[in-house]
């Protein structure tokens, strides 16, 4: 059965390659629609797309989120044909980032040094500590330019189904930090998912003896949002969390 398909594939492939060469395209990117991707790759494992090094570049590009085979090929060809100097700069930046970026010892965000610039900045308020799940959340809050306190990155959220317990997060270090340092307000900015809410509740229980004010990010109507299109959960939260004008 496989042999029959193989023969069929080869015939199809030759036909397509002929058509591609006629159009000046040198890469065989055609995937017969009647094969699964795995079978296609199995059948063509002896072949290379262009060269072994090109294949390796495509393979490595595919580790990026949302980048499939076609996108990776397009990126590799784009770099090779039009952006070689930028490609070299990209390779160097990638090399330096992977070698030199470490976890900040204070907040567990990313840093070039042992302590990150946000933790070192003397203009920030030590009394405000914002707890987030990931470094991406730090970036999101920083982009609002409305917060001037410190951060603490948990490294995820509690998720018993995925086997993520408190020991897998930086919760012990957070408790230690609020015991050692005077934190006037702890802002629990974990996600609004069930896991995020559970994590916030767990932290609140763990630190409430050491911090007098524990707050949670407000939930409700988004900017520019029409009430009629909101889900009832969000609208219900907005009604509960209403504020004075
Ligand atoms: Zn830091």
Beta bridge partners of 87: none
> Is residue 33 over pLDDT 80?
no
Phi, psi of 213 (to 5 degrees): -125, 115
Scored b (16 or more CB within 10 A) or e, 162-179 reads eebeeeebbbebbbebbe
> Is residue 27 over pLDDT 60?
no
Domain ranges for the chain, please list them: 1-47, 127-240
Model's pTM, two decimal places? 0.73
Q: Which residue has the higher pLDDT, 68 or 35?
A: 68
Scored b (16 or more CB within 10 A) or e, 202-220 reads bbbeebeebbeebebbeeb
> Is residue 192 over pLDDT 60?
yes
Q: How far is the CA of 55 from the centre of ligand 1 (A)?
A: 39
pLDDT at 128: 95
Q: How far is the CA of 129 from the centre of ligand 1 (A)?
A: 12
Q: Among 3.40.50.10860, 3.40.1360.10, 3.40.50.620, 1.10.510.10, what is the CATH number of 127-240?
A: 3.40.1360.10
Q: How far is the CA of 245 from the centre of ligand 1 (A)?
A: 35
DSSP class of 228: G
Q: How far is the CA of 104 from the centre of ligand 1 (A)?
A: 5
């Amino acid at each position: 059965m496989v042999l029959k398909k193989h023969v069929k594939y080869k015939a199809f492939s030759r036909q397509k390659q002929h058509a591609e060469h006629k159009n000046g395209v040198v890469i065989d990117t055609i995937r017969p629609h009647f094969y699964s991707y795995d079978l296609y790759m199995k059948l063509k494992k002896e072949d290379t797309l262009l060269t072994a090094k090109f294949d390796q570049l495509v393979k490595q590009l595919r580790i990026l989120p949302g980048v499939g085979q076609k996108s990776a090929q397009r990126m590799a060809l784009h770099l090779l044909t039009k952006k070689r100097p930028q490609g070299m700069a990209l390779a160097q930046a990638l090399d330096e980032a992977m070698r030199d970026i470490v976890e900040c010892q204070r907040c567990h965000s990313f840093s070039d040094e042992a302590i990150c610039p946000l933790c070192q900045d003397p203009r920030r308020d030590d009394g405000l500590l914002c707890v987030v799940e990931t470094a991406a959340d730090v970036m999101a809050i920083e982009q609002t330019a409305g917060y001037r306190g410190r951060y603490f990155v948990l490294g995820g959220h509690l998720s018993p189904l995925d086997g993520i317990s408190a020991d897998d997060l930086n919760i012990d270090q957070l408790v230690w930090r609020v015991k050692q340092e005077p934190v006037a307000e702890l802002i629990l900015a974990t996600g609004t998912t069930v896991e995020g809410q559970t994590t916030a509740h767990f932290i609140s229980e763990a630190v409430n003896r050491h911090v007098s004010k524990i707050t949670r990010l407000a939930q409700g109507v988004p900017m520019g949002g029409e009430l009629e299109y909101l889900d009832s959960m969000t609208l219900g939260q907005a009604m509960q969390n209403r504020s004075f004008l």
